[in-house]
Structures are given as C-alpha cells and as structure tokens.
Amino acid sequence: MLQVLLGARSDLDQTLANTLANSSVDPERIDAENLTPADLPQLFQSATLFATQRLIIIKNIADNRPVLDALETYLGEIHDNPDLHVIIIEQKLDKRLSIYKKLKPYTTEFADFATKSPPNQLKWLAQTATTKNLNLDKTTSSFLLNWVGADQGRLESALEKLALSGDTSPSTIQQIIEPTPEQNVFTIFNSALLGDRATVNSAIDKLSLTSEPPQMFFGLITNQAFILSALILAQNSAKTPDQVARDLGVSPFILRNLTPHASRLRPAHARKLLRLFARADRDLKSTSLDPWLIIKNLLMQTSSL
C-alpha cells in the first residue's frame, strides 16, 4: 500500500494524523537524505524480526534523486503487498519528473496539496455564511478559521451547526464545534506560555484518559515550539509573520497566534525552549516513564519561560 502526501506540513498534519490513528502498527520514520538505492530492497521488506506488518513514513526523498529514481522499481511491489504501508511526505515534487506520473497508478491516496491554490478563506467563509443566513464579521471568521482549520468541508459543517444554534459568538463556537487537533494543542501550548499551569495540568490529565497517542500530541506540540522559536529568531530580520510562514511552509494563522508570545521572548528563550523539547524527545524514546508525565513536565517547564 502506497500513500503520497505533498504540500506544507499544516496541510498534511490532519491527513497523516488520521492515517496513524487508524493504524495499529507503530510507524517507522525514514529520512531519505540518508538512503542509497542499495538500501531499498531491505527497506521495503514487509516483515522484520519484530513485526509482520510495517508502516514506513519517508520524507525528503525528492532531495535524493538517485533514490527517487530507484523508487520506480519498487512501486508495484509496495502496491501489491498488504502487509506493507509506505507513506511518502514531501513539500513538493517536480511534475516534470517521470516518477510524479508513475506514482499515481500505484497509490491508494495521492494528495497533492502543493498544487492547490488555497482560496481566500475569509472571503469564502463570509459568502458561505450568507447562504446559510449567518452574518460573520471578520473577527468571528478569523476565530472560526483558527478553531476549525482551513479544510472547507469542516468549515461548512461548522457553519451548519452555527446556523442551527442561531449564535456565532466565539463561546458558542468553542461549545458546539470540535477544534482541530492543532487548535487543541495550541490552546494547551498557549496556556503553558501564559504560565497557566492549572489549565495545562487539567488538560493533560484529561488527554491521558483518552485514546490520544501521546507521541502524536508531542509531535504536534513540538511543531508549535519550532514555529515559535523561528518567529523569535526572525524578529531581527524584520520579516512579517506571513513571510516567516512562507519560509516554513506553514499556515500564517498559526504564526499569528504565536506572534504575541514571540514579541516578548528573546533568542535565549528560544534556545532554552528547543533544549527542553529535545530532552523530552530523548526521554520519550529512552525511558519507561509515562509519556504523558514527560509531556506535562515539559509544559510546566515551558510555563516558566
């Protein structure tokens, strides 16, 4: 089974999260930068000494042309093997390359977000809300977009719920509409940055009682920390959050949410934050401690920045 996801991380995170949530196999994450064509036969074996099924996530293969070219040889083998699930993640893939066209017939999903020109979501929201007899001002539209994410299907569903309720206030949005995983993570990360330890403590305790994989949560919150650090370090370059978003290939809405924190923090804080997350990542991989306890401790330390 082969799955190809192309585009910015902000576009791909939800699709990847859904795939991992529906799989009982622990993913193997491979950086193709370190591969050679000779590594591929062993990489694409369906079984190992430790598992009969494999889920392999490969990134940066577009930057390794010899491996990218050699991949064509294994497309049929991957497609036909029910015990092997390979996910290729790239920001973009040159459509002029033969591999671009050859991938599609062998994939169960080929999601090319990179070729889609995102619509003006605020304008689209206002127009769609009008058809449902809703009056959304710009502030409420921005809040809804942050809360639900950029997926138009989710946004339209949210508008239908608001139309039934007859209320478009932010408090109603929070009560009746499920936030994206990214928004939920941001809310917790934001509470930590504000020093609100009680909220963080309560939120992590609730998550630990759900089926939410701690490693997935950690990955999403690490992305928030990375973006915040990039914003802090970019302050001396006079770049706007939108320019930084383009550089990182992420949604500008995420950066705008973190901008108030970036404005009060300094490069020394960014370095400390990254060290905290690197230590937590090491502890998650090398100790038998409860992952949620490690994450909670990380956020408590983050609250003292």
The crossing angle, in degrees rounded to 10, of helices 181-193 and 9-21 is 110
Dihedral sign, CA of 17, 187, 175, 204? positive
Sequence-distant (6+) residues with CB within 8 A of 237 are none
The pTM for the full model equals 0.53
3-state secondary structure of 172: helix
Structure-token match 């619509």, residue found: 119
d(CA 238, CA 235): 6
Which tokens is 95 given? 């459509």
Confirm if 154 and 148 have CB atoms less than 8 A apart. Answer: yes
How would you write the pLDDT of the chain (305 residues) with one tens digit per residue? 899 888 766 567 767 877 787 778 888 889 888 899 999 988 887 666 566 788 999 988 988 989 998 998 999 888 888 888 999 998 878 777 888 888 888 888 888 765 544 456 778 888 889 999 998 888 888 888 878 876 677 788 899 999 999 899 988 998 898 877 777 888 899 999 999 999 999 999 988 988 778 988 898 899 889 989 988 988 777 777 777 777 776 666 667 778 899 999 999 999 999 999 999 999 999 999 999 999 999 999 999 98
Q: Which domains does the chain have, with CATH numbers?
A: 2-115 (3.40.50.300), 121-176 (1.10.8), 181-302 (1.20.272.10)
CA distances from 70 to 38, 73, 90 (A): 9, 6, 17
Distance CA 188, CA 196 (A): 9
